[in-house]
Structure 1
Amino acid sequence: MQLIDSILADAQAIAKIRRDIHAHPELCFQEQRTADVIAQALTDWGIPIHRGMGSTGVVGIVKNGTSSRAVGLRADIDALPMTEHNRFAHASKHPGKMHACGHDGHTAMLLAAAKHFSKHRNFDGTVYLVFQPAEEGGGGAREMIKDGLFEQFPMEAIFGAHNWPGMAAGQFAVKTGPVFASSNEFRITIRGKGAHAALPHNGIDPVPVACQMVQAFQTIVTRNKRPIDTAVISVTMIHAGEATNVIPDSCEIQGTVRTFTTEVLDLVEQRMQRIAEATCAAFDAECAFEFHRNYPPTVNHPAETDFVRRVLGEVVGPQNVQEFEPTMGAEDFSYFLQAKPGCYFLIGNGDGNHREGGHGMGPCMLHNPSYDFNDELIPMGATAWVRLAEAWLAQPRG
């Protein structure tokens, strides 16, 4: 493993920053303290910053030489609305808020790279350090783009990474094409007519309508889309009724849809609406269909993915660069990849043995109250960022 000496020397100090951020988690678009910590560190290291993009985002600007070329490196900075079960010294001090996805670690890795860049600028061009708010459902990447990220900081490509529990520390994973799915939500309200449960013929019962509808939705996955295309329809909530002897007036169905392509998503939404409305009509009920598209699929660009695979192989050895198995989770880095070439890859977080005494009894998995980021990743992740930026700016312009 070819780690950078200056990053190794600073690893303990950067880990201290990471733990401070972990102890003071902030939710999407509320990351004021976190942004202050990032901005202060960059300023102390002599790196110019821009604040307020996407509400609480921070962009560091590292220039060297005369080239107009530029590349972007991104870390997300927000926490999750959940209560931490860990009791070690750097556990969350704010009930109901927790860095349970490792964004504190992502921030630390990019800060470690920034500190190295402040003293060692072995490139000709500009490296933009993008500290993005509100990945956890807020679409912070989209908001930064709306605020002019790529106009104010023109970059040829942008790269992002996420820690991955269960994959060994010391390994990366990368893949061309779709790696995270689109995230979408639906809500269907079935309006019938209430009645006494003993006299069902006097009403229009929305509950059996909902049951028929939920079963029919799965035929979209098994009979409407091509078998080689991927989609998940999950009905996660059904709400109806207040009393056991009353047929309710209405029933509400909610859930999520995940796909790897917009074309499949279009098909699923159209078929769901048609099934919902036709099923209601068949039972003389009324239907209100809502479908909200959240994050698009995260799709890595081929040339940039090949570039990342090569550079990461030089850092940890090709044998430690695995194939990224796509997941049906979602990631708002997708918005960046819609606007710019780039690649989103994984860095192994280990199996949880890095956690200190006082951790919760649950597994060290993402979005789990017993999770904690593995500080051993900081030197490797920061080295990867530095080598990716240096290699990108050194290669001939595409």
Structure 2
Amino acid sequence: MSTVEHFTDLQREAIEWRRYLHQNPELNFRVDNTARFVAEKLASFGINHIETGIAETGIVALIPGDGGDGPTIGLRADMDALPIVEASNKPWSSRVSGKMHACGHDGHTAMLLGAAKYLANTRSFKGCVALIFQPAEEVELPSGGLKMVESGIMDRFNISRVFGMHNSPGIEVGHFAICDGPILASQDDFDIVVKGKGGHAASPHRAIDPVVISAQIILGLQTLVSRNTDPTEALVISVTKLKAAQAYNIIPDQVEMAGTVRTLMPGLRDFAERQIRMAAEGIARSAGANVEFKYIRSVPVTFNHTQETSLAIKAARDLVGSSAVDGKIKAQMGAEDFAYMLEARPGAMIYIGNGSTAGLHHPAYDFNDDALPYGIGYWVNLVETVLGA
């Protein structure tokens, strides 16, 4: 197994790739320039099998090993940016107004490109590596991960296992973190329209006030977590949008609200949908109002499989030592559409340290280039661990 010193020469080149991508962010499925850049780099490494245009702008490239027959494993990186105005003040800040790589996908892409160059040169493994470059991780439905799975990449490229990696501000550079089982939550979203009877704010007795009813619904939803679910089972219900009248003296006819549901227990998604509907309808009816309700299943639980998690831990510890790899990190309530790939095939996602940077999705965030050789080395070690010749 390789240590990080084997990959420092690649770091300089990977920094150039990463900063170019950071200066030229693209959103959603329209990552055309990014995909073209990735495909050109892969071809320059001597990789012959490169399929583009998957799920609009996604890429899968195959590197066969020199060790003979074996399975194919997938390594996934996401390519899209976010609609945020950058405030990092770095020399390589975004050149595109209102768009920035605020989640580190530029770094994810650069690390997988670095691993691709190394593996294409050495090929000291059995079987085959499928490099998956995915668009549209940051959108909801249908996301890039879902569309790539639905396009049939797992069967078409005979992928038997799939692995992901995401940077994590707050974890020291050169450190990794992972856990078996749920590592990230599912994400569902809901919309509720409370329909009452509008009127003058000075005569509330002549109206059916949807603002007051909405406030009662918001408070009522909190008891679904605090009093209706097992406290050992994580469930978060947050109302995040509220739209009512546009004037001080109007009681509106209706109020629109929306929110999100996060859980690590797949069964609680059914519970949340059912109970949110019942609570909203019951509270509204008791006040003489009605509701329209919509519940959207967005992203499933990101679930790390046991054997693949062990392989990921071994690859990381061989790179940086046992003390720098936390194999029992607590699950987080964020969501990741890599979950769709983990539903399609066994695999695991690992966190790589980004140091004491601004948080993900923050205007001042920037991927830490010091992490690049660690990410490249992890991918290489993982391939040689799983597909060792």
Task: State the TM-score bracket (shorter-chain normalisation).
Answer: over 0.9
Indicate which of 372, 378, 387 corresponds to 2:381.
387
Gaps of 5+ in 1: 353-363
Per-residue deviation, residues 207-245 of structure 1 (Å, max 9, x unmatched): 111111111101110111111100111111221112222
2:90 matched residue in structure 1:
88
1:76 matched residue in structure 2:
78
Indicate which of 349, 364, 368 corresponds to 1:370.
364
Q: Is the 8 A contact 2:194 2:284 kept in 1?
A: yes
Gaps of 5+ in 2: none
1:51 matched residue in structure 2:
52
TM-score by length of 1: 0.94
- How many Å separate the matches in 2 of 1:118 and 1:5? 19
SS of residue matched to 2:85: coil
- How many Å separate the matches in 1 of 2:294 and 2:318? 48
Instruction: Give the residue type in structure 2 aligned to 1:347.
Output: I
Q: Does 1:121 find its partner at 2:123? A: yes
- How many Å separate the matches in 1 of 2:248 and 2:2? 67
Instruction: Give the residue type in structure 1 aligned to 2:242.
Output: I
Instruction: Give the residue type in structure 1 aligned to 2:241.
Output: M
Per-residue deviation, residues 230-265 of structure 1 (Å, max 9, x unmatched): 011111122111222222111111111111122011
2:101 matched residue in structure 1:
99
- How many Å separate the matches in 2 of 1:172 and 1:394? 22
Per-residue deviation, residues 159-181 of structure 1 (Å, max 9, x unmatched): 00101111100100010011111
After TM superposition, the structure 1 stretch with the greater mean CA deviation from structure 2, 11-20 or 84-93, is: 84-93
Equivalent residues in 2 for 1:1-398, closer than 5 Å:
2-3=2-3, 7-47=7-47, 48-65=49-66, 66-138=68-140, 139-322=143-326, 323-352=328-357, 364-394=358-388
Q: CA deviation at 1:4?
A: 5.6
Q: CA deviation at 1:113?
A: 0.4
Q: Percent identity?
A: 42
Instruction: Give the residue type in structure 2 aligned to 1:21.
Output: L
Q: CA deviation at 1:81?
A: 0.6
Q: Is the 8 A contact 2:224 2:275 kept in 1?
A: yes
Instruction: Give the residue type in structure 1 aligned to 2:257.
Output: I
TM-score by length of 2: 0.96
Q: CA deviation at 1:287?
A: 0.7
- How many Å separate the matches in 2 of 1:243 and 1:115? 60
Per-residue deviation, residues 33-67 of structure 1 (Å, max 9, x unmatched): 00011000000111121101111111111002431
After TM superposition, the structure 1 stretch with the greater mean CA deviation from structure 2, 86-95 or 193-202, is: 193-202
RMSD (Å), alpha carbons: 1.4
Instruction: Give the residue type in structure 2 aligned to 1:385.
Output: W
Instruction: Give the residue type in structure 1 aligned to 2:337.
Output: D
- How many Å separate the matches in 2 of 1:191 and 1:22? 45
- How many Å separate the matches in 2 of 1:246 and 1:112? 60
- How many Å separate the matches in 1 of 2:216 and 2:10? 60
Per-residue deviation, residues 140-174 of structure 1 (Å, max 9, x unmatched): 11000111111211111100010111110010001
- How many Å separate the matches in 2 of 1:69 and 1:311? 18
Instruction: Give the residue type in structure 1 aligned to 2:335.
Output: A
- How many Å separate the matches in 1 of 2:271 and 2:119? 47
Q: Is the 8 A contact 1:6 1:116 kept in 2?
A: no
- How many Å separate the matches in 2 of 1:64 and 1:7? 19
How many pairs are equivalent? Answer: 384
Q: Is the 8 A contact 1:50 1:60 kept in 2?
A: yes
- How many Å separate the matches in 2 of 1:320 and 1:391? 18
- How many Å separate the matches in 1 of 2:283 and 2:254? 14
Instruction: Give the residue type in structure 2 aligned to 1:41.
Output: K
Q: Is the 8 A contact 2:52 2:60 kept in 1?
A: yes
Q: CA deviation at 1:2?
A: 4.6
Q: Is the 8 A contact 1:7 1:113 kept in 2?
A: no
Q: CA deviation at 1:325?
A: 2.2
Q: Is the 8 A contact 1:123 1:390 kept in 2?
A: yes
- How many Å separate the matches in 1 of 2:287 and 2:186? 33
Instruction: Give the residue type in structure 2 aligned to 1:298.
Output: T
- How many Å separate the matches in 2 of 1:242 and 1:177? 47
Q: CA deviation at 1:392?
A: 0.6
Q: CA deviation at 1:3?
A: 2.7
SS of residue matched to 1:338: helix
